[in-house]
Amino acid sequence: MSTPIIEASAITKTFPGRRGGQPFHALRNVSSKLFEGEILGLVGESGSGKTTLSRIMIGIETATTGEVSFQGRPVQSRADWKALRRDVQYVFQDPFTALCPTMRIGAALAEPLAIHRLCPASERPERVARMLEMIGLGPEMARRLPAQLSGGQRQRVSLARALMLEPRVLICDEIVSGLDVSVQAQVLALLVELQRKLGLSLIFISHDLRVIRYLCDRVQVMLLGQIVEEGPAAQVFDAPENDYTRALLAAIPDRDRLPVSESA
């Protein structure tokens, strides 16, 4: 089998207890692999450790024990992490906190290019315009502030900001959870289109099984800081082996079992 593009091996994460309380084991021996071009879904109830695992995979959080590898090599030094963070971008759940409220959209999209000195300043407006077009927003959006956009437009902009650096991997943490169903479907369709067009590998975190089923090739189900089931999406959804996965699936009302594209 090919080498995973990014891999977390035997990760544990223990947060110190507050005011002398018991330490909290947020992750217990969790391993995860993302292969080139695939969409991996991380699903599980609130507090199961999805965000913590993904933050460890990009070095925002450090693991208590365990190791992250990128393109087959352990990520250790600051330079290793810096290289990883250019190629692996993170899209947050709430684009309101991800986007600076006083920065116009054009400037927000140009900023990663400036930080990483990817192209001359004179080329930035052109690259911003191309990106706006790619995510289906008009060029006039460049002059707007985040508060002047709808929730769906804001989420497209945070996706665009992550894509400005032409990453190879995108980690999307609950990016459609705050949107209503029809807008969710549009953002997901855009994500699939971009993933194919740009050859991205994707980790998609959600507690919404319908979304995961629609989108993902492979799924890992998390519960209380552990992975309780994993496999190809069709297998996990059609023949779940774990009681918790079954309970999650049973909790979806029947009418909502359709893939998002059909139900929207």
Ligand X SMILES: Nc1ncnc2c1ncn2[C@@H]1O[C@H](COP(=O)(O)OP(=O)(O)OP(=O)(O)O)[C@@H](O)[C@H]1O
Residues binding ligand X (CB under 6 A): 15, 24, 26, 44, 46-52, 207
* Six token digits for residue 77: 């030094």
Helix (H, G, I), strand (E, B) or coil at 1: coil
Nearer to Mg ion, 141 or 159 (CB): 159
52 touches Mg ion (CB under 5 A)? no
195 touches Mg ion (CB under 5 A)? no
Residue 31 CB, nearest approach to ligand X (Å): 16
Would you give the DSSP letter of residue 181? H
CA 36 to chain centre: 15
Residue 205 CB, nearest approach to ligand X (Å): 7
Q: Which of the listed partners (ligand X, Mg ion, none) does 48 bind, with a CB threshold of 5 to 8 Å by partner kind?
A: ligand X
CA atoms of 144 and 116, how far apart (whole Å): 24
Nearer to ligand X, 49 or 106 (CB): 49
Q: Which of the listed partners (Mg ion, ligand X, none) does 72 bind, with a CB threshold of 5 to 8 Å by partner kind?
A: none
Residue 119 CB coordination number (10 Å):
13
CA atoms of 88 and 36, how far apart (whole Å): 12
Nearer to ligand X, 24 or 180 (CB): 24
Burial group, residue 236, by CB count within 10 angstroms (0-12, 13-18, 19+): buried
Nearer to ligand X, 26 or 194 (CB): 26
Q: Which of the listed partners (Mg ion, ligand X, none) does 77 bind, with a CB threshold of 5 to 8 Å by partner kind?
A: none
Interface residue with Mg ion among 48, 51, 54, 201 (CB under 5 A) is 51
Each residue 94-123 as x (binds Mg ion by CB under 5 A) or -, in order, gives: ------------------------------
Residue 54 CB, nearest approach to ligand X (Å): 8
- Transcribe 101-127 into DSSP letters: TTS-HHHHHHHHHHHTT-S-GGGHHHH
Residue 207 CB, nearest approach to Mg ion (Å): 8
Nearer to Mg ion, 51 or 245 (CB): 51
Residue 61 CB, nearest approach to Mg ion (Å): 12
153 touches Mg ion (CB under 5 A)? no
Q: What angle do CA 164, 152, 260 make, to 5 degrees?
A: 105
Count of residues that interact with Mg ion, criterion CB under 5 A: 1
Kindly provide the residue ranges of all beta strands, DSSP E only, lying in 45-109, ordered along the sequence: 65-70, 73-74, 88-91
CA atoms of 50 and 68, how far apart (whole Å): 15
* Six token digits for residue 116: 């990483």
